[in-house]
Amino acid sequence: MSFDQFALHARVIKGVQAVGYTEPTPIQEQAIPAVMAGRDVLGLAQTGTGKTAAFALPILHRLMDGPRNKTRALVVAPTRELAEQINDSFKDLGQATGIRSATVYGGVGMNPQIQALRRGTEVIVACPGRLLDLMQQGFGDFRNLEVLVLDEADHMFDMGFLPDIRKLLAQLPTARQSLLFSATMPHDVRYLVDETLRDPVTVRVTTGTAPVETVDHVLYPVEAHLKTDLLDALLRDWDARRVLVFTRTKHRAKRLAEQLDRRGFFTANIQGNLSQRKRQDALEGFRRGDVHVLVATDIAARGIDVSMVSHVVNYDVPDTEEAYTHRIGRTGRARMEGDAVTFVTSADRDMIRRIERSVGETIPEVRHDAFDYSVSAPRHLDAEAKRFERGGSPNTGRGGARGGSRGGGGGGGGRRDRPSVGSGTGGRARPQAGSGGSRPSPAHVDGGEGAGGGPKRRRRRRGGSGGASD
């Protein structure tokens, strides 16, 4: 099956060719004809399925006819990152169409956004809060709006945007085509569907919260204080150029990124405390391949479009089954293969059972054979790490992020040579017997989970096999 079957405008097809898509993904096969036929669509699809092009292509096709310099399509997304990603897709796919698109979201200057609205940019991709702000100030003319897309509706609901969306809907023309995409269909999203869509065609590529099929899931049982060491060992085993690591809090994302950076991995973090510029720098670095390991929180990672993420590591188990699906939706994208690795402490067992029920399978447990699981916990676990060990809820506000300790004097503070993680295997090292033997030598432990008392280090008490062999 090819894109020719859709009879998309020749200039839109040019964009498809330019980005190198040869075959539509299942969501595209189902959604593109329905959208082109002018139907409202409910798309049950998660990130990684090609859902952005599933709405961007037919919208570009539609906009080829009719007036320019009027805003005719509005895409509403929960995060700035997702908005940027969607905007990029419109620009890439629409590169031969002359159709313009622009983003509108908070945290950055308003002027360029006001200009884009004033110019009547044909496609506006917006987060709800800033768009409403600007509309209340009298900017944006949506009288010519033909298509509305609500993307990642479940996230918008999670993030409390529903009241904003309702206010927005009240100000848009009712005679329009509406498309709503969501990975899951909780009760409130169902409500929004009923309010927004008219006689929709439902397209779905997975049912419920089932994650993408090309992903292999494994659990690594590990004590909380050994998580960083285990991650270090795994990163060295893999051909780890594109690893996305999730933590539950901003503080932990920052700290883990610092720890990995000190150990010599090209690492960046992306979390809500960073400025928009820093977040974008981190994402760009990851996209370009300068950053091999990106440590993220759930919210900050939403909408990351990084094709070819090879490994997603749940350093901390997610809070919900849906969050698990969203996290691993970032690997195995568009039919590539990926690994989803979840670190599990004894406190996480209930959540794992729920995830397994939603995945519909028992996720295999593996041990890293060359890893020393016997190292006991440091005495000074900080308060947050202790809460985690007990399975308590994370606290983002406290806990001494002894950030900036990089380069601190003493053993290992200086930047060592970056570990050569490219093994040339071109594939994914399977965690199996005999897969180890790639311990760096000698590694340092940054106080494990709770680096109490500053950047205190202790030597790893491991046999260690010496030079990194993988």
CA 383 to CA 166: how far, in whole Å?
41
Q: Binding ligand AMP by CB under 6 A: which of 334, 363, 375, 401?
A: 334
Q: How far is the CB of 35 from ligand AMP (least distance, A)?
A: 14
- Which residue stretch of 36-44, 51-59, 102-110, 174-182 sits at the interface with ligand AMP (rule: CB under 6 A)? 51-59
Q: Binding ligand AMP by CB under 6 A: which of 15, 43, 48, 140?
A: 48
Query: By CB under 6 A, what part of segment 86-125 binds ligand AMP?
Result: none
Residue 57 in contact with ligand AMP, rule: CB under 6 A: no
Nearer to ligand AMP, 309 or 370 (CB): 309
Nearer to ligand AMP, 49 or 342 (CB): 49
Q: Binding ligand AMP by CB under 6 A: which of 8, 34, 35, 53?
A: 53
Nearer to ligand AMP, 44 or 222 (CB): 44
Residue 24 in contact with ligand AMP, rule: CB under 6 A: yes
From 47, 53, 109, select the one nearest 78 (Cα to Cα): 47
Residue 47 in contact with ligand AMP, rule: CB under 6 A: yes
Residue 339 in contact with ligand AMP, rule: CB under 6 A: no
Nearer to ligand AMP, 56 or 443 (CB): 56
CA 184 to CA 157: how far, in whole Å?
11
Q: How far is the CB of 40 from ligand AMP (least distance, A)?
A: 19
Residue 333 in contact with ligand AMP, rule: CB under 6 A: yes
Phi-psi region of 373 (alpha: psi -120 to 50; beta: other; left: phi over 0): alpha
- Which residue stretch of 17-25, 135-143, 155-163, 377-385 sits at the interface with ligand AMP (rule: CB under 6 A)? 17-25
Query: By CB under 6 A, what part of segment 297-316 binds ligand AMP?
Result: 305, 307
Nearer to ligand AMP, 15 or 140 (CB): 15
Nearer to ligand AMP, 25 or 30 (CB): 25
Residue 49 in contact with ligand AMP, rule: CB under 6 A: yes
Q: How far is the CB of 123 from ligand AMP (least distance, A)?
A: 15
Q: Binding ligand AMP by CB under 6 A: which of 15, 50, 94, 128?
A: 50
CA 144 to CA 448: how far, in whole Å?
57
CA distances (Å), origin 99, targets 17, 156, 372: 17, 27, 57
CA count, 13 A, side-chain hemisphere, 29: 10
Nearer to ligand AMP, 21 or 157 (CB): 21
Nearer to ligand AMP, 15 or 440 (CB): 15
Nearer to ligand AMP, 184 or 345 (CB): 184
Nearer to ligand AMP, 227 or 333 (CB): 333
Q: How far is the CB of 334 from ligand AMP (least distance, A)?
A: 3
CB environment 124-133: b (16+ within 10 A), e (fewer): bbbbbbbbbe
Query: By CB under 6 A, what part of segment 402-461 binds ligand AMP?
Result: none
Nearer to ligand AMP, 85 or 113 (CB): 85
Q: Binding ligand AMP by CB under 6 A: which of 51, 217, 279, 460?
A: 51
- Which residue stretch of 22-30, 124-132, 146-154, 384-392 sits at the interface with ligand AMP (rule: CB under 6 A)? 22-30
Residue 325 in contact with ligand AMP, rule: CB under 6 A: no
Nearer to ligand AMP, 228 or 331 (CB): 331
CA distances (Å), origin 404, targets 255, 395, 455: 9, 20, 10
Print the binding letters for residues 374-393 with ligand AMP: x by CB under 6 A, - otherwise. --------------------
Binding site for ligand AMP (CB under 6 A): 21, 23-25, 28, 47-53, 305, 307, 333-334
